[in-house]
Amino acid sequence: MPRLNKRASYLTLLLPAFIIYMAIIIFPILMSFGLSFTEWRRFQMTGFNGLDNYREILSDPVFRRSLWNNTQIMLISVFGQIPLGIVLAYLLHRKWVKGTKFFEFMIFLPITISSVVIALLWNRVFSPVGIDTTFVRMATGNPDYVVKIFENEQFAMIPILGVLLWQHTSLYMVIFLANLQRIPNSVFEAAVIDGAKESTIIFKIVLPALSSVIFTTSVLAISGSLKSFDLVYAMTGGGPVNYTYVMALYLYQHTFTFHNYGKGSAVSIIIVLLSVGLISLVRGIYGKAQKKFE
Amino acid sequence: MNERTKTISKGWTIASYVFLILFTIITILPVVWMIYSSFKPMGEIMLHPLRLPAAPTMENYQKAFKYGNLVTSFLNSVFYAGIATVSTVLLALAAGFSLTKFGYRSSKFYFGGFTLGLLITVNSVITPLFIMETNVGLYNTRLGVILPYIAFGLPMAILLSTSYVRGIPDALIEAAVIDGASYVQIFWKIILIVSTPVIATMSILNFLNNWNEFLMVFTLTSGEDMRSLPVAINSFAGRLNEDYGLQFAALVVGTIPMFILYLVAHESVIKGFGEGALKE
């Protein structure tokens, strides 16, 4: 087979994917970077303004609130969804209960529902005709009870955080379950025969075996929580006032409502930098933890 | 392997049952409630929120289909998700083949480039993408939705396809080369055939992601006839809508197609998500 032909085939197979990828993901990222230093008025770029966009964004209380709300989402993802996912996966894996397949099937079902539907459904659950309201009314005997948590500045994020926990925990469960199944069953059996306590099995066998997956899922959770948009947009639209604003919503507002593409791009770049920074941090922590255990 | 560990204490077993049953109820209850509520007239929803429908009615669905343009949106969703998924899978498999079986040094560079994309989210490119599409006339077109769908599907799909194709024996390909087959023929006649398992995984993950995608269709199209199901549901049955029955019906319509997919292929869906995320 002539060399030239091989090279041509290589490129024929590779380039269509690579070109689409470059044009739609890599090029816009670079363009975003450039745009983030520009000023826009009435759909027109009016020139460069250095770091002004960044300065304005970082000093905007709405952005700061968004950043804090994203942080809360990240915390519930990393310290809520992941541990709960591990617990569920572990319970299913050890098969102490019957019907593990059934539980897995049911718990994973929400993964098929779009965030928009989930958001609107939970709004109904919390609404005056919802499950939550009705239960509380029955339990407290107060027929006029309504959910007010959305209106409270301090607690407005709580329903969103709860729904995120409801929506994504099963994803982590499935990932951890797939990895637990890679641990040979004989390891568990030997430990049980040796009379190892359950806590020993969990801390000495299971968690070390899962450590690299915990790292990967943390990366997944962090980048996922920085991008959250659909659920928040459909559930609260950032309101009341701007109590539930998140960075992606802030970006959306500047690009698509105000048509300030410079500012919108600057928000994108901030999100990218945060994501890269946090992931490097997690990678660092993971590396250190690994060294310690070896 | 599937035998239960017998030495476990009763306490643990009961605790596990309680925890799992509770979690399952919390997961399923809102969904079940949504489905049966969609068959109740507005007045009944207001008066008895939790009761099963006294006289099930299709009225909500009739209204939803009449006002919501749901048929068009459903077809759009099928079109967007379908075309994008088939394209992503073919492109990713071709790239996976070229990156693992040709032995060029540049493969590493290309592969690294693709994996970088795993960390890039839609909202970090949406502003320039909008400007680009407006300038080249792709804004508010179906192609303008499908191309970004393909691009964002590629990184994960290429990760899956390379690790699968790498495991296909070289001898299989060498034999075909000796027989005089071209590489492109080898791709269509051999790689594509023996890669069925990974094609299934890639297709399911991709289709589900595309089907539920919201932001891109929402920002890159404006016409009502371009909307996908999530966008249509949000705009006519969104949080400001006060007709609960209609809203429930719309939500059910948005959910049922993927429920059916899940019912039929849940093993592959669960396996796909479980394995899709492991690959580093």
| Residue A216 is assigned to a structural domain of this protein | yes
Peptide bond into A2 cis (omega under 30): no
**Does B104 share its domain with B19?**
no
**Does A76 share its domain with A108?**
yes
**Does A99 share its domain with A172?**
yes
| Residue A184 is assigned to a structural domain of this protein | yes
Q: Is residue B132 scored above 80 in pLDDT?
A: yes
For residue B124, which of A277, A272, A20 has the smallest C-alpha distance? Answer: A272
**Does A46 share its domain with A187?**
no
Residue count of chain B: 280
Nearest to A177 among B3, B269, B274 (CB): B274
Q: What percent of chain B has pLDDT over 90?
A: 68
pLDDT of amino acid B5: 47
**Does A48 share its domain with A104?**
no
For chain B, say whether A162 makes contact (Cβ under 8 Å): no
| Residue A54 is assigned to a structural domain of this protein | yes
**Does A191 share its domain with A213?**
yes
Mean pLDDT, consecutive 10-residue segments, chain A of 294 residues?
78 96 95 94 86 95 96 96 95 89 94 94 85 80 75 87 94 93 87 85 89 90 91 91 94 94 95 93 90 74
| Residue A32 is assigned to a structural domain of this protein | yes
Q: Is residue B154 scored above 90 in pLDDT?
A: yes
The CATH number for A240's domain is 1.10.3720.10
**Residue A219 lies in domain:** 69-114+152-245
**Does A286 share its domain with A196?**
no
> Do the chains contact at B212 and A179, CB–CB below 8 Å?
no
| Residue B97 is assigned to a structural domain of this protein | yes
User: For residue B66, what are the CA distances in angstroms to A117, A247, B249?
Assistant: 19, 36, 12
> Do the chains contact at B132 and A28, CB–CB below 8 Å?
yes
> Do the chains contact at B261 and A112, CB–CB below 8 Å?
yes
Whole-number Å distance between alpha carbons of A23 and A163: 35
ipTM of this predicted structure: 0.90
**Does B212 share its domain with B252?**
yes
Write out chain A residues lying below 8 Å of B16, CB-based.
Answer: 91, 94, 96-97
Question: Region B247-270: what's the mean pLDDT?
Answer: 92
**Does A108 share its domain with A214?**
yes
> Do the chains contact at B214 and A116, CB–CB below 8 Å?
yes
**Residue B82 lies in domain:** 61-276
pLDDT of amino acid A294: 65
Q: Is residue B280 scored above 60 in pLDDT?
A: no
**Does B85 share its domain with B181?**
yes
Q: How many CB atoms lie within 10 A of CB A95?
A: 16
Please name the residue ranges forming H helices in chain A: 3-21, 27-35, 52-59, 61-76, 82-94, 100-108, 115-126, 131-140, 158-180, 185-193, 198-200, 207-227, 230-235, 247-252, 261-293
Tally of domains within chain A: 2
CB B233 within 8 A of CB B68: yes
pLDDT of amino acid B185: 92
**Does A221 share its domain with A180?**
yes
Question: Region B113-126: what's the mean pLDDT?
Answer: 90
Q: Which amino acid is at B207?
A: F
**Does B111 share its domain with B192?**
yes
**Does B173 share its domain with B240?**
yes
Q: Which helix (H) or strand (E) holds A274?
A: helix A261-293
CB B44 within 8 A of CB B54: yes
| Residue B22 is assigned to a structural domain of this protein | yes
**Does A29 share its domain with A102?**
no
pTM equals 0.91
Tally of domains within chain B: 2
The CATH number for B152's domain is 1.10.3720.10
* Helix/strand/coil for A90: helix
For residue B139, which of B249, B38, B221 has the smallest C-alpha distance? Answer: B221
Q: What is the radius of gyration, based on Cα positions, of chain A?
A: 24
pLDDT of amino acid A147: 74
**Does A34 share its domain with A80?**
no
For chain B, say whether A165 makes contact (Cβ under 8 Å): no
**Does A164 share its domain with A219?**
yes
pLDDT in tens, A262-283: 999 999 999 999 999 999 999 9
For chain B, say whether A125 makes contact (Cβ under 8 Å): yes
Whole-number Å distance between alpha carbons of A89 and A170: 9
pLDDT in tens, B206-234: 999 999 999 999 999 998 899 999 999 99
Q: How confident is the prediction for chain B on average, in pLDDT?
A: 90
Q: Which residue did the predictor score with more confidence, B98 or A126?
A: B98
CB B188 within 8 A of CB B58: no
For chain B, say whether A58 makes contact (Cβ under 8 Å): no
| Residue B5 is assigned to a structural domain of this protein | no
**Does B41 share its domain with B68?**
no
**Does B41 share its domain with B137?**
no
* DSSP bridge partners of A44: A41
Q: What is the radius of gyration, based on Cα positions, of chain B?
A: 24
Which of A 178-237 lie inside 8 A of B, CB atoms? Answer: 178-179, 185, 188-189, 192, 198, 212-213, 216-217, 219-220, 223, 226-227, 229-230, 233-237
| Residue B15 is assigned to a structural domain of this protein | yes
| Residue B78 is assigned to a structural domain of this protein | yes
| Residue A250 is assigned to a structural domain of this protein | no
pLDDT of amino acid A146: 76
**Does A103 share its domain with A221?**
yes
pLDDT of amino acid B1: 39
Write out chain A residues lying below 8 Å of B95, CB-based.
Answer: 13-14, 17-18
pLDDT of amino acid B277: 61
> Do the chains contact at A116 and B254, CB–CB below 8 Å?
yes
